Amino acid sequence: MPNDHDQDHTEPPSDIVLKVKALESLLVEKGLVNAAALDEIIETYEHKVGPRNGAHLVAKAWHDSDFKEKLLENPTEAAAALGYVGRQGEHLRVVENTPSQHNLVVCTLCSCYPWTVLGLPPAWYKSAPYRSRVVSEPRSVLREFGTELENEVVIRVWDSTSEMRYLVLPLRPAGTDGWTEAQLQQLVSRNSMIGVELAKSPAEINQTNQGIE
């Protein structure tokens, strides 16, 4: 997907982006850092470290109803209690999927994203096609991610801002009664917390993970 993000991003200022790029080029040129290693670090934060924080919150909410209540009532505080603290002035809101409502998150203006619980936003999240199409044709976008919802399920799209950032609490998959929080956490993907996918089923985990103890 083309990325028009930089052209119409209103924050932060683009000279910061340029300075970072210039610094990166200089460090690579001087042999102080390796471009592939940098990509690896970004990849790690985008896919591993960041989303694990959110997966921790979701799995804990599935496992502990008191925590779920706190997470829905005051997400910023509930996340902070586990050590996931955002910048001042930004609020987290957790939107819960139910059998009748599916939640989907976008930032139509730029790329606002709950960094403290999801890490770096993926490139597609920042792309112009996602930002516009998710509002006008959410069901088609979901289908492209392999997510088919029943026609009766209402899709609600939440538009993030720099002040309010959304995290989807996916439906707990069937067949997970008695699972520990750590086991549940493996079912929570980054995309399920943006709302473009559902949480994984136990069968999907078994395929990739040789089963759960």
Q: Is 106 in the site for Fe ion (CB under 5 A)?
A: no
Query: Is residue 65 annotated as part of the catalytic site, yes or no?
Result: no
Query: Is residue 162 annotated as part of the catalytic site, yes or no?
Result: no
Q: Is 110 in the site for Fe ion (CB under 5 A)?
A: yes
As annotated, the binding site for Fe(3+) includes: 107, 110-112
As annotated, the binding site includes: 107, 110-112
Instruction: Give how many residues touch Fe ion by CB under 5 A.
Output: 5
CB of 108 to Fe ion, least distance (A): 8
Please pick, among 25, 100, 107, 127, the residue that the annotation labels catalytic.
107
| Window of 23-31, 109-117, 143-151, 191-199 that interacts with Fe ion by CB under 5 A | 109-117
For 27, residues 6+ apart whose C-beta sits below 8 A from its C-beta are 33
- If one counts every other C-beta atom within 10 angstroms of the C-beta of residue 96, the result is 14
| Window of 34-42, 77-85, 106-114, 119-127 that interacts with Fe ion by CB under 5 A | 106-114
CB of 109 to Fe ion, least distance (A): 5
Please pick, among 14, 25, 111, 189, the residue that the annotation labels catalytic.
111
Q: What is the DSSP string of 7-49?
A: HH--SS-HHHHHHHHHHHHHHHHTTSS-HHHHHHHHHHIIIII
Q: From the list 95, 112, 167, 199, which residue makes contact with Fe ion (rule: CB under 5 A)?
A: 112
| Window of 21-29, 107-115, 117-125, 127-135 that interacts with Fe ion by CB under 5 A | 107-115
138, 132, 163, 165: which is closest to 151 by C-alpha? 138
| 93 and 159 Cβ atoms separated by less than 8 Å | no
Q: Is 95 in the site for Fe ion (CB under 5 A)?
A: no
For 160, residues 6+ apart whose C-beta sits below 8 A from its C-beta are 105, 106, 107, 112, 113, 114, 166
- 3-state DSSP of 44-67: HHHHHHHHHHHHHHHHHHHHCHHH
Coil, strand or helix at 158: strand
Classify residue 160 by its DSSP letter.
-
Q: From the list 59, 107, 196, 198, which residue makes contact with Fe ion (rule: CB under 5 A)?
A: 107
Query: Is residue 100 annotated as part of the catalytic site, yes or no?
Result: no
CB of 37 to Fe ion, least distance (A): 28
Residues that bind Fe ion (CB under 5 A): 107, 109-112
Kindly list the catalytic residues.
107, 110-112
